[in-house]
Amino acid sequence: MVQELFRSSNGYLDVYNSFGLSRKRSVYTHGVHLRDDEFTSLATTGAAVAFCPTSNLFLGSGLFDLQAAEAHGVKVGLGTDVGAGTSFSALRTMGEAYKVIQLHKAFTGNPADKKPLTALKAFYLSTLGAARALDLDDRIGNFKPGNEADFVVLNPNATDLLKSRSARTTSLEEKLFVLQTLGEDRAVARTYIMGKRQ
């Protein structure tokens, strides 16, 4: 339908480009059908993609290719979505992101080329990666002095399942992986907004 309306465009993203709408602070959601030239265009214009894995799985319209986006230098943040997804929880969304990335192995000739989403990358995409995608990393997304202190404190022992699985971890990354894949709202022990406990 978009191609019929904008016959001179060479794709969906090109329509936005033709109106000057693809630029720094432009954030496109899903990105499940992006071609290499479109990834290049996003990187060139400074636009970003919100990776919304619950939408990818709920709609079944495609899987976002995080590795391709990163290879082209596109800014990516993890996005929760209930317009076409299933949760506002960053932890649940990280768990679904892991599954989306793993599913790519089923659709490639060489599954070994598709790397799993590590816990460190998942937490990055939910914090500083998301802040960079929004062009707000000068004030949110990390703990630099002077930044807004909006953050949560997570309890890796919040549920019996988390406690059991966390007890067998031997590194911080393993503990984060448990939170990434099994975490939920009950794991949020405390919430701070602008440095004040809520």
Please write the tens of the pLDDT for every residue from 122-131: 999 999 999 9
* Mutual angle of helices 90-103 and 172-182, in 10-degree steps: 90
Q: Which residues pair with 152 in a beta bridge?
A: 191
133-171: per-residue pLDDT in tens?
999 999 999 999 999 999 999 999 999 999 999 999 999
Considering only 2-6, 138-142, 163-167, 194-198, which range has the smallest mean pLDDT? 2-6
Which 3 state secondary structure label does DSSP give 84?
A: coil
Q: Residue 84 pLDDT > 90, yes or no?
A: no
CA angle 77, 90, 99 (to 5 degrees): 80
Q: Residue 24 pLDDT > 90, yes or no?
A: yes
Mean pLDDT in residue range 75-81 = 94
CA-based nearest residue to 76, from 40, 108, 52: 52
**The pLDDT of residue 85:** 85
Q: Backbone phi, then psi, for 19, in 5-degree steps?
A: -105, 10
Strand duo 75-78 + 48-51: pairing: parallel
64 neighbors 51 (Cβ within 8 angstroms): yes
Indicate whether this model's pTM tops 0.85. Answer: yes
Mean pLDDT in residue range 7-21 = 92
Q: Containing H/E element for 125?
A: helix 119-126
Domain(s) of CATH 3.20.20.140: residues in the chain: 2-144
> Which CATH code is given to the segment(s) 2-144?
3.20.20.140
Tokens of 167: 């007890």
Which 3 state secondary structure label does DSSP give 152?
A: strand
